[in-house]
Amino acid sequence: EAGVAQSPRYKIIEKRQSVAFWCNPISGHATLYWYQQILGQGPKLLIQFQNNGVVDDSQLPKDRFSAERLKGVDSTLKIQPAKLEDSAVYLCASGSQSGGYGDTQYFGPGTRLTVL
């Protein structure tokens, strides 16, 4: 079974530029998450999708961050314009619904963003 795919793996941009990250979840997984992991901290949820609908985006800085999941499969996360404090690893995870609320989240390798 293929895992969660993310691209790019690394990205360096200047502040005020825009950037987009892509995620392909495990086939058949209905739930998709984007987490932000700042160096030295644990991952923090940005947004959660169930199929192609948003379930929770309460911690997404909506003035600069946006995300979509078209057709309930792939997802993109965009930052525009980027700030220095956006430097972090952006993790995508997916999960199935079959196991109820105890089901496992599978994480991708992450995209490391550096904002100069």
Partner 1 sequence: GNSVTQMEGPVTLSEEAFLTINCTYTATGYPSLFWYVQYPGEGLQLLLKATKADDKGSNKGFEATYRKETTSFHLEKGSVQVSDSAVYFCALRRTGRRALTFGSGTRLQVQP
Cβ of residue 25: shortest distance to partner 1, in angstroms? 13
DSSP calls for 57-80: -TTS-TTTEEEE-GGGS-EEEEES
Find the part of the chain contacting partner 1 (CB under 8 A) among 21-29, 41-49, 70-78, 80-88.
41-49
CB-nearer residue toward partner 1: 9 or 16: 9
CA distance 30 to 52: 8
31 near partner 1, rule: CB under 8 A: yes
- Please select the residue that binds partner 1; options are 21, 23, 79, 95, rule is CB under 8 A: 95
CA distance 79 to 62: 9
What does the block give as tokens for 115? 């904002």
- Please select the residue that binds partner 1; options are 61, 107, 112, 114, rule is CB under 8 A: 107
Q: How far is CA 2 from CA 5, 8, 24, 70, 79, in A?
A: 8, 17, 10, 20, 27
Size of the site for partner 1 (CB under 8 A): 26
Contact 75, 23 (CB under 8 A): yes
- Please select the residue that binds partner 1; options are 21, 33, 65, 90, rule is CB under 8 A: 33
Residues near partner 1, by CB under 8 A: 3-4, 31, 33, 40-45, 48, 55-56, 91, 93, 95, 101-110
